[in-house]
Structure formats: structure tokens, C-alpha cells
A and B are shown apart, each in its own frame.
Chain A
Amino acid sequence: MKIVVCCKAVPGAVTDVEVAPGGKALQFQSQFQAMNECDEYALEEACALKRAYGGEITALAMGPITTQDILYLALAKGADQALRIDVRVQDPQVASTVLAAALGKMEFDLVLTGTQSRDTLASFVGVAAAARLGLPFAFAVTEVEKDGEQSIKVRKELGGGRFADIRLGLPALLCVQTGIQPLNFVPPGRMLRARAQPIRSLSLTELGLTEEEIVPRGYRYQSVSPPERVGRVRFLEGATPEIAAALLARIRAAL
């Protein structure tokens, strides 16, 4: 099975978010670029499928040269090759356009992505890319198995804790749910050896896209606010009997 895993480089910590000048993007302050955790599950699932059915895995990411770090991680985890699209994109519509253009030039049976990204929580790019390519897709997938030569059987989450089993024809795109496989720690030795592997990059023009087509349209960020603190934890202070008395008083008041 030929599998492409779309993985996104996200800031290490989502703190101190600001609206970028122009209002079309957000700026995250973080020195770290990490692989989006939801996509890491997609990669783990791809490795599990490769172990079960053979085949090869290509890791695909968008971003500047620093994005290579997460592709090295993908190689260390078990991807056979990695491909970087040399473009900075944050808007999910645009991201799905670029991804669809790249996937359109690749050979695959299955595309795996996560369900959402830690930074922007759009939960949308995978599905939109499938739509642009006219691929069958499923969202929040928790199990994948091969079902004949040209189809797979997947289980996906429904509301109310229920599941649905679906058959999809190949090629298809799946947004996998977190926890589909346990995340394995990547031994740095493998990571270092992965760094010696070349990573191919594609420019926008090579994908047949123009700058015009990657401008986000139709909205403008107004502001970003930090979370409001609710549900405070209070530590009772004093000697043990005082704490016990205060605790009892609170329980009584609540009853």
C-alpha cells in the first residue's frame, strides 16, 4: 500500500498569540517547531499499516526549510521518503488547495492526516483536500484494515460514543483520531541517521500554482484573547485541624 501522510509543523507552545499585520494570519511566539500531535498519530497508523500490508510511506509537509525538522522525525519514525512544499501557508482553504495540488502529482492508495492542528484548530484541511481531489474520505477514524485489493474497511467515531464501520474504495483520504496507535518515542539515534537523508522540496510553480491562488480571502482576524480562568483550585492553609474544619464548612455549605 502506498501511503502519504500529511503532517504539519506547529509551534511548540501556543502562548502569546498575536494577530499578524494585515489580519490574515496569527503569529505564534515559539522557538520550537514540532510535529502536530494529531498528525503524529496518522504517521503511527501509516507505520502500522506498512507493517501489516507492506508498501511505502511518504511524509508530506508545507513550510519553509525549518519544516524539515518534522520531516526528519517522520523518516526516523518509519517514513520511506519525505517531501516538503516550499510555501508558508496558514489559512486552511489555501492549505487544502496546495495539498491537493501536491497530492494530484503523487501516486498513492491512501492519504492519512490528523483531525486538527494544535495551533489553529481548523479541523478542515484534510477533508477539504479530499473534496478538491474527489477522493472518498472519513473523519475521526479509529481503525483501518484492508478489505480486498481496492478497498478498505474503517471504523469512525460518531456522536454519543457510537461507531460506524465504513467501506471505502481506494484511493481514499482518512483523518485519523488521536490514540489510533500509541505514540512511540523516536530514538534520537534514528533521528540523527534520518538527518543524513535528502528531503525533496517542491515550489509553488512546480505545483502549477500562482501566488494569487494562495491569498486568503473573505475574513480578517480582529483580536486574540487568552483563556479566561475558571474553576480555581484553592489550597486551604493553616494547621491540620483548621484545614479540616474549613474543609468541613465548605462541604456543609455545598450540600
Chain B
Amino acid sequence: MQKAIVLILAVLLSTVVTSLLMAQKMERYNPRLAFEPTFLNQPGTAFRGASGKPGPEYWQNRGDYMITATLDTLSNTLSAREVITYTNMSPDVLPFVWLQLDQNIVQKDSRAALTQASRGRGAPETTDGFNLKSVAIVDRNARVPAKYVVSDTRMQIVLPSPVSPRGGRLQIEIEYNFVIPRQGGGRMGRMATSRGMIYDIAQWYPRMAVYDDQRGWDNLPYLGSGEFYLEYGDFDYTLDLPANQIVGGSGELLNSDEVLSAAQRKKIREAQMSDKTVTIRSVAVVESGVGSGKPGDRKSWHFAMKSSRDIAWAASSAFVWDAARINLPSAKPCLAMSVYPVESAGDSAYGRSTEYTKYSIEIFSKDLFEYPWPVAVNVGGPVGGQEYPGIFFCGFRGKGKELWWIASHEIGHSWFPMIVGSNERRWAFLDEGFNTFVDIAASDEFNHGEYAPKRDAEYAPGGGNPAREIAPLLLDRAAPPIITPADAISEQYRHLVSYYRPAFGLVLLRTVILGPERFDYAFRQYISDWAFKHPVPSDFFRAMNNGAGENLNWFWKGWFVNTWTLDQQVRSVKYLEGDPTKGVLITLGNNGELPMPVTVAIYESNHHSGHVQLPVEIWHSSAEWTFRYPSTSPVDSVVVDPDQRLPDVNPANNVWTSGAPATRPMRRR
């Protein structure tokens, strides 16, 4: 009797457990959810149009920065004085402003230190972050000490009088210094080389937070994983350093006659007319130490950059330096440069860095939007891969195809987010994903596909078919959706969710759903409409819907907002009137949550084969679709997605075979 009870209880328990499990595992296609009419259905506003363009009243605030900084290479400290001119173009009165103090990430109890696992390299070092010597507001020509509060990497200044709307101006003067960490949040730092310290300097000045029409002040703290959201403006910065330093910086060097030798200036002029890389400071010169000046000598390098959201620079006495011209569609002058230590020299490494820089910019300018700045510098140094307007930090160990991929990726960031100024902290995919996407084409186009196809840590690292490699991610219930804020995505998912998945989504959109002509037209419209502005994801979705003329909401919802899976299936094949000469009725199933257009290949025993393309609308109201195919002989096999372009999580059910041994279908590559 005991056994019977145990049996009954076991049956009960297993029934309950099974039904619970089934409820979780069954991902049934729900057309109501896929084609939800309330998704992206809100009217446009005066600020952001329904068509995905900035609205007629679109506004954006502006930050102009004037900085004079002194680098002390003995104490590795940067001291500076900056004047921020902030213009309030919003329709609102601003009684306070927020600034970003990104160096505070390196403080001992920063929010980043307390919440994030270290980004990997070495023991966590700490500094005091920004040491603010003085903060003042210039109010009607009088300098007034500012009333401010610092909270982690954010500073609020309560203004003596509010900034008026639609053009009101504010001037903030800050004197500060900070110790340059070896690793500053993984995006700046310094490293010793045989010939001197390399300084990769970024997040080096307090800057305005963004005030926008979405949420007013956007004050997410700098936690390490999420990057930046910044205003556009003009920069003017002067760097005082030892005379032996070579500096690469965002923007254009204005006083080359004061800081460069005649020989160096001559080489630069040569480079400006040369498609082949011209050496400005050779390995030999670096190793000989010639031209360093006397110890104690200092130089002031003066740079300026217009219409930018940030500036960064690198300095070292150890830099080799070369350059070549970039050919832009408008023929405006533009120079590609590289600076790197002798350890990175040679054509299998940074010797080709300028070539990679030049061609990346040329390809992206032709395909997307013309590069708007006069210079692009690639720096070989301590930072493995980080982008800034006009300057890129790549790891000094980079070689061959890895160097090409990392360099072209960081350069690609010039478009996303340096030109199309999205909020990297909230929506990493708008820059990382879009950049990874355009990198794919750049790798195909560079030097007759020398490094094609792009397969690296950020895109199909296994090296095979990206559509197949991404399937495990679709099945992973713990994977966050693409739209998740950057700091809410754990490191193990960062590349998969913010780079690979969105890039592959755009590949699907371009090659399967829309076709290249419609996609490219709409994508370029999006870029030019939002150049030097702040788009949000729905602006992109609407821009593509309008420019391509397709309601793609099911795709935005399924791929970007949710983590839906795709599982297409051939369910059955039946001859009309039971007669193989009269054609077949093929029934397809859509088992996963995501619908997709379908390509079906049919192979007949008479060696005829055909392709049928079915639009996504077949899935409007049902998970099953039946269509006729005019075959005239027995069908050997029916295959959905014969070219394996789709991320189907269950490819086994993509193929139906008659079981007839005679002719097996040819496997298409």
C-alpha cells in the first residue's frame, strides 16, 4: 500500500512539474504580440517627428570648451583650467546644471568600484578622481564661486540665476587636476615603454551632462560598462608638456610651426598629398632620441575641433609617427595619422595603421556620410580599443587582421556615436551594434577583402556562419534584450547583446527583409537626419519604417526590444488530388515568437528546382501557412532558408524529405 501511495504522489508531482515546465519552455508564436498595433503608435511630437526625423521644434543644448592643461610627467598629473560656455536652446528655464566628472570612477568608493567587476586588467588602482580647485560661474561679467554638490561621477551646480530658454548662455570656469591612472575605467591611461611613457588621455575635463527632451537632465553615473552621452560644440585646447613629447589630438593642430620642426612640417605636407604612408618621425629617430630638446624644455600644443562631442589626446616621447591623405567624396583635405611605440612598428603591425585608418575613413565616408573633421589619428598604446572624435586608442600589441578589425571598428565609431550622437549609456546598440554592422562591409571592401569576412570577438567569433552561431544566444533565457541599458548587461553578454545581435539584426534587415537598395537609402537618411544630434531608438525605428516604406515594427519588437526566437518549419507536403503531376500544397510552421519572411526551395525528382519567397505577412494571424507550388513530378525535398541566412534555432525541422533514395538535394552553400 505504501508503494501505491508513493506512486500516486509521484504521478501527481510529475504532472504538476511537467505542466509547469511545459508552460515555461513552450514558446508559441502569438501573432497578436508579434504585430501589436500599439507598438510605436504614439504620435510624433514637435521635437521628434513621427517619420523618424528631428521635429520642427527639435532642440539641443550646446557645450563649447576652452581648456589649457599642463602635463607633469614626473607625477603623472594633469592640471588644467577650463571655461565651459553652455547654451540652453531648450524651451525651459534651467535653475541648475549637471556635469560629468568621469575621473571619479577611479576613486576608492566610486559607484563603479562598488558595483562592477573589474574590467580585467590588473589590480584595481585608485586615485582621488578630479580634484576641483575652484568652480565659478561667470554671471554678468562677475566670477561667482559656484554652489555645487558632487555625487560620484556627477556634479550639480545650483546657479545664482537661472539660464534662460532658447539661447540663454552660461559660463563655468573650473580649475582642477587629477592623477593619470594607469587604467582609467579601461578607456584612458598610461603605460611605460622602452622609450618613454605613453599617455592615452580621455575623460580629462569636467563636461556638461546632456539635457534633452526625453528626460531633461540625463544623469546615469559612469559605472564603467556604459559609455557616454555628450553635447556638441567647439573645442579649443592647449597642452603644455615636455618638449620631447609628440602629441596626437582630436581636431587640428593650430600651431605646428611652434611645436614641430621644419622637417616634420615638410613631411606632413608630403603626407597631405600622398596616398601612401609618409613617415614623420621614424623608428630610428625615436630610438636615437634626436629632436627631444633639452630636459626641462616645454612646448604648448594648441588644438581646435568644431562640432564635436568630446576631445581626447595621446602624448609620448616614444611615438613613431606617420600619416597619409584621406580622399573624401567632397575632396576636402583630410589627414590620416598614426602614433605608436617602436614595439608596435612594422608592416605586420602598426606600420599599416595609417593605411587602415585612411581606408576605413574613405569607405565609411563613401557608404554612409562624409567624415567631417580634418584629421583622424590612430594611437597604439595602453588602451585596447576606444574611440573618440578624431582619435582612436588601440592596443599597442595589435597585429595583422586583429589590428585591422579593432582599428576599423574604433574608426567606425566616428559615425556611431561621434556623428550620430546617441546615448551610449542607455542604448549601447545604437553605437556598438550599428558600428559592428558597418564594419562588416568595411572588411569586405578593404584591399579586395584582405581581412574579410569580419569574424572577431564582436561578431561571430567562432568564424563560421553568423546566422547559425547566434542561435544559442536566442535560446538563452538569461540573455537581456538589446534595448537594455549598458550597465545592466553583464560582461558575459556585452559583446553578444550590444554588438553581435544588433549588427546581425541589421544584416537580416538589409539582406533578407528589405534588400540592400531600400535599406541603404533609409539608413543613410537616418544618419544624415541625426548627424550631430541625439537620436533615440524609436527615431531609428521610425526612420527605417518611413525611408524603406515598410512597417517593420514586428522586427523592432522581436529582435531589439525582446529576445524572441526564430524557428521555421516545413510541416507537411501534400500532392494536389494526390497526384504528383498536379503540384503540391506545402504547409509551413512558425514555431518561435519571431516571424520572418520565408524562402523555400523545392527540389523535384525530375531535377527541377525552384525558390518561393513569402512575405512576413503570411504570419499575420496564424502560426501556420499553406501555399501551392506548381511541381509536376514527385518532390524530393522542401527546405526553408536554403541559404542558411536566418538565425533559426532548430534547423533540423527546416528540411522535409520524401525519404526517396533516388535524388538527394544539393546542399547550397
Is this pair of chains taken from one and the same complex?
no
A interface residues with partner B (beta carbon < 8 Å): none
B interface residues with partner A (beta carbon < 8 Å): none
